[in-house]
Amino acid sequence: MADLTITAANVVAGASAQTKTGTAGATIAAGDIVYLDSTTTGKWQLADSDSASAEARGQTSNIGIALNSAALNQPIVVQTSGPVTLGAVLTAGQALYLSDTPGKLCPVADITGGDYYTLIGLAASTSVLNIDVQYSGVASP
């Protein structure tokens, strides 16, 4: 499989969504996986499973899915938990992980050597992902 294809215009937070706001530290599309870079910029950056930074791999409580698109230094809203409609075709029950492509989601089969396992959430239906980020601290062999 490949990274999940998300339609940015169709990303919508669910009723019980937990969100945080801030400033984009890069060009971000709605549906991208982002983390708050608390050590250098204080801005939301694209998360990446094979980054040298543990924070960028998901070892933080400040990781989630961008609900709006934003250019560098523009405001951004990030959903950190709860249901989100992704504008993508999901398989109900499937676990989705942080990809080694910055900001993207992938199935576990696409985690390759050196990538860290960071569960972003489980698909509740063919269109809704329940965000529940879990960082394993374990790299793929």
* Rounded distance between C-alpha atoms, residue 69 and residue 8, angstroms: 7
Residue 1 forms part of a structural domain: no
CA distances from 140 to 51, 88, 110, 118 (A): 13, 26, 10, 11
Q: Within 10 Å of residue 92's Cβ, how many Cβ atoms? A: 11
pLDDT at 48: 92
Q: Is the pLDDT of residue 27 over 80?
A: yes
Q: Is the pLDDT of residue 28 over 90?
A: yes
* Rounded distance between C-alpha atoms, residue 92 and residue 94, angstroms: 6
Residue 62 forms part of a structural domain: yes
Residue 126 forms part of a structural domain: yes
Mean pLDDT computed over 14-40: 95
Residue 115 forms part of a structural domain: yes
Residue 29 forms part of a structural domain: yes
* Rounded distance between C-alpha atoms, residue 37 and residue 118, angstroms: 17
Q: Is the pLDDT of residue 1 over 60?
A: no
Give the model's confidence band at 58: pLDDT under 50 very low, under 70 low, under 90 confident, else very high.
Answer: confident
The helix (H) or strand (E) run that includes residue 138 is strand 128-139
- Contact yes or no for 77/11 (Cβ under 8 A): no
The domain of 77 spans: 8-139
- Contact yes or no for 47/26 (Cβ under 8 A): no
Q: Which residue has the higher pLDDT, 50 or 120?
A: 120
- pTM metric for this prediction: 0.93
Q: Which residue has the higher pLDDT, 21 or 57?
A: 21
Domain count, the chain: 1
Residue 3 forms part of a structural domain: no
Burial (Cβ within 10 Å: 0-12, 13-18, ≥19) of residue 90: buried
Q: Kind of pairing, strands 33-36 and 18-23?
A: unpaired
User: Which tokens belong to 50?
Assistant: 């094979």
Q: Is the pLDDT of residue 32 over 60?
A: yes
Q: Is the pLDDT of residue 95 over 90?
A: yes
Give the model's confidence band at 45: pLDDT under 50 very low, under 70 low, under 90 confident, else very high.
Answer: very high
Mean pLDDT computed over 45-63: 86
Residue 88 forms part of a structural domain: yes
Q: Is the pLDDT of residue 39 over 80?
A: yes
